[in-house]
Structure 1
Amino acid sequence: MDHRHVEAARTPHQAVGATLPAALLRTARPKQWVKNVLVVAAPAAAGQLFSRHALTQLALLFVLFTACSAAVYLINDARDAEADRAHPTKRHRPVAAGELPAAGAYAVGGALAVLAPAVAAWLCPPAVAALLVAYLGMQLAYCVSLKHVLVVDLVVVTTGFLMRAMAGGLALRIPLSRWFLITTGFGALFMVAAKRYSEAVQMTGKAGATRALLTEYSTGYLRFVWQLAAGVAVLGYCLWALEGGGTHHSGLLPWRQLSMVAFIVAILRYAVFADRGTAGEPEDVILRDRALAVIGVVWLAMYGLAVAHW
């Protein structure tokens, strides 16, 4: 009996030690790393994606943004551990569950937050290092206080997406089109607001089931935001597509103008899930809906042909 008590007392400590790397990885949210693919957006839009230098820089950028976002998640979870333990879902996060010591999360997060901009300053143009410092500062401010400020929380999350999209252009010294910035920024706001709206719809009658700030937003207001953002994103894209010649084109077909159709249909399809309140995880919506995936592939093909002037 005494031996069993000793084993029972040892098991949690042994489990923590054995699963520490796994706990760090889970806290870094690998599922969210797909967002960092946005670093290819500006080079792809400019048709400068496939040179060896471009691919090397973009791969490095993906790693650097992954390190920065992991740093933010680690510090956020260490800071919110007590509150997360009272949450029905977040209590399973490694820090809240006791699988990862808060001090360890702070230490690894802090190290990544210092290392990523330092590597960027060494291997990338200065603007990239400055962008990463600004991204980290903004995201950490979000963790501490900005996530509790109405509207500002939406702006900060949206800006994080926009910074990712800008980074590729800054790394390769590609001028960033005003239409690229408008479409990317408002497209990101559309998805962020749709996610918040879906969370608000799903938490109705379930107090404490998600972030407290949602109780300050009305579903009507969040619906207005994602509808407005979708409209501006579509307008920005159409202005880009029609810019510089209208119906004139140098390729086999007016791919630039035709891509508007696929882009608008993709927005409308995604809006179906936003309207239902099931757009809580954008990556899941895109990957699970076959029609949306096909529309996305068609749009990418048309956009690529337009950029390549085929």
Structure 2
Amino acid sequence: MSIQQPARPAPTAISAPLIAAPDRPSWVRLPVAVVLTARPRQWPKNLLVFAAPLTGSALGRGSRALGGVTVAFIAFTLASCAVYFVNDVLDAERDRRHPRKCLRPIASGDLRENHALAVAALCVAGAATAVVFSPGLGLSWAVAAYLVLSFLYCGRLKHLAVVELLLVASGFVLRALGGAAAAQVPPSGWFVLVCSLGALLVVIAKRYTEITSLGGASAAHRPSLSHYTPRGLRLAQRLTAATMVAAYCAWAATEPDTWTAQWHLATLLPLVAALVRFDRLTAAGGTGHIEDLLIRDVPMLCLELTWLLLFVVGLAIHP
């Protein structure tokens, strides 16, 4: 990845948000602010806990594995909500100068910082309670590691180029490992590598869309962006995607069952098509929400569902 060290531009004040904040009655403002800060649109990320049990065929062995993974989903959802509350408290001043983030409840004043921290503490307590119902300590360690790394990221590490990419990507990987631990499925090294590269790919693409949509003001809102170039991020994204495909092939080819290996290789087709589509959508830029490219673009969604359907069918018809 190409990294440069240009002079950091001074923060630019924005006189008014690009989107008008809705006018809500005072009695609904607090609960709505809490829900918005919890970022429900981000919760689908926690479905990654089902990745290892699905690829390891554990979900078809009974309700025990499914119950364990459901606990993992709840634990990571609560843990991630705690991180969002803390992050928005620490970033409130910077968010007020952002054309879209200035509408976040804490930045706009709809949610007081002490209330946000209290909700964060409750979410952490809820996550800690949830992991008690998981067998072993694997999920507990995964959730604890996620919280520690995420809070470190919210502090100063988010401003360190490359390091911040790895920290955000680690959150995705820990979700997958937590799900594997909850279902008591030992993940293969290739599986962990594929998850890691996929997570890194999404984070790099997110930084690219941020730097292209915000332009010269990008570094004022995320200082680490001053160390990246659009060309460098695009190159890193494509190299990561190519490496991910190679790792996926290696994972499929190393399956001990020949039939399973061949079926997994067949699922590579919609995966590659989805990566190509994702690359084209990222190149178009224009959005700071990378999730919109993954779940709101109809062709992309169809390719993702095709991959999932092929995988599930393969598990169902396995001789």
Aligned to 1:42: 52
**Partner amino acid for 1:158?**
A
Matching residue within 16, 19, 22 for 2:29: 19
Q: 1:293 to 1:17 in 2, by over 3 A?
A: closer
Tell me whether 1:286 sits opposite 2:294 in the alignment. Answer: yes
- Comparing 90-99 and 143-152, the one that deviates more: 90-99
Distance 2:91 2:180 in 1: 35
> Matched residues in 1 for 2:147 and 2:236: separation?
26
Write out per-residue CA displacement over residues 274-298 of structure 1, whole angstroms, 9 at most, x where no aligned residue. Answer: 2222574333113332222222222
Out of 299, 303, 317, the position equivalent to 1:295 is: 303
Q: Residues 204 and 147 of structure 1: is their aligned pair in 2 closer, same or farther, counting only changes over 3 Å?
A: same
Q: Which amino acid aligns with 2:175?
A: R
Match of 2:67 among 53, 56, 64: 56
Please report how far the alpha carbon of residue 135 of structure 1 lies from its aligned counterpart in structure 2 after TM superposition. Answer: 0.5
- Please name the residue that 2:215 is paired with: 204
For the residue of structure 2 that corresponds to 1:99, the secondary structure is: coil
> Is residue 168 from structure 1 mapped to residue 179 from structure 2 by the alignment?
yes
Distance 1:149 1:57, change over 3 A: same
Partner of 1:82: 93
Seen in structure 2, the aligned counterparts of structure 1 residues 22 and 235 have a Cα distance that, compared at 3 Å, is same
In the alignment, does 2:287 pair up with 1:276? Answer: no
State the 1:108 CA deviation: 1.3
1:10 is matched with none
Q: Please tell me the residue identity of whatever aligns with 2:64.
A: H
The whole-number CA distance in structure 1 between the counterparts of 2:38 and 2:135 is: 24
The TM-score normalised by the length of structure 1 is 0.87
Report Cα offsets for 1:140-166 as digits up to 9, x if no partner: 010011100110100011000111111
Q: Percent identity?
A: 35
Give the aligned partner of residue 68 of structure 1: 79
Letter aligned with residue 53 of structure 2: P
- The one-letter amino acid paired with 1:276 is A
Matches of 1:18 and 1:280, distance apart in 2: 28
Higher relative contact order (CA 8 A, sep 6+): 2
Who is 1:257 aligned against? 265
1:154 aligned to 2:170?
A: no
Give 3-state SS (helix, strand or coil) of 2:252's partner.
Answer: helix
Deviation at 1:18, TM superposition (A): 3.6
- How far off is 1:122 after superposition? 4.8
**Equivalent pairs, count:** 294
Q: TM-score, normalised by structure 2?
A: 0.85
Q: Any unmatched runs of 5+ in structure 1?
A: 1-13
SS in 2 for 1:86: coil
